[in-house]
Amino acid sequence: QSALTQPASVSGSPGQSITISCTGTSSDVGSYNLVSWYQQHPGKAPKLMISEDNKRPSGVSNRFSGSKSGNTASLTISGLQAEDEADYYCCSYAGSNSYVFGPGTKVTVL
Amino acid sequence: EVLLVESGGGLVQPGGSLRLSCAASGFTFSTYAMSWVRQAPGKGLEWVSTIGGGGGTYYADSVKGRFTISRDNSKNTLYLQMNSLRDGDTALYYCAKVSVGTAKFDYWGQGTLVTVSS
């Protein structure tokens, strides 16, 4: 149950697009179409933003999109806004009813 | 509206025990898997345990043999019995509703803080 790999921080100016990568292995990210992404503002609970690699739950802005290639998943935020400043975590199903999270990426809006 | 409210956290000495609870409402509790996810101070999220709607239980290696997840469907409540607690178990413990087929934690509580310290 090794953690996924994410960049510690990503930044962008308002209106720009940024992409956060999430690298796992052929045992987790690469084996299942079950990567999810969570947004967490300071002092708040995580919020589901993307599931099943690229599905956006009802109520989540279409500025958020997910993709995957091989063992690496990505979250793209387009039209970056001040409210997007938060920590973002990827999570993958890892088989045998287990899950693995990434260490989180701090997104800063310049 | 889905609501998850955790309770039971507190300060406990190393080697001690604690039981967390999570009261659920706004959905048919008995038909959904539920999980505990923790977050150490200033750190990332870590999956701890999941219990299926049918009662199957699953644990992270870091807590296997020490923690026990359970549920009382008549009370719409999820539990986490934590024994042999260690300093490294200090964290905010969240309960989360799980959509098993899609492996997503779609609703989260606000968390309950567990501090293991002498």
pLDDT in tens, A72-109: 999 999 999 999 999 999 999 999 999 999 999 999 99
Distance between the two ends of chain A, CA-based, in angstroms?
A: 35
pLDDT grade for A3, boundaries at 50, 70 and 90: confident
Residue A109 bridge partners (DSSP): A12
Structure tokens at A36: 């999810």
Measured between alpha carbons, how far is B54 from B107 in angstroms, rounded to an integer? 19
The phi, psi pair for A100, rounded to 5°, reads -135, 135
The phi, psi pair for B20, rounded to 5°, reads -95, 150
pLDDT in tens, B63-78: 999 999 999 999 999 9
Residue pair B57/B45 in contact by the 8 Å Cβ criterion: no
Check CB contact under 8 Å for A102 and B105: no
Average pLDDT over residues A38-60: 97
Q: Does A91 touch chain B (CB under 8 A)?
A: yes
Tell me the pairing of strands A9-12 and A86-93: unpaired
Distance from CA of B13 to the nearest CA of A (A): 25
Check CB contact under 8 Å for B50 and A93: no
Measured between alpha carbons, how far is A14 from A110 in angstroms, rounded to an integer? 7
Residues in chain A closer than 8 A to B37 (CB atoms): 46, 101
Measured between alpha carbons, how far is B80 from B56 in angstroms, rounded to an integer? 14
Measured between alpha carbons, how far is B21 from B85 in angstroms, rounded to an integer? 17
Supply the pLDDT for residue A110: 94
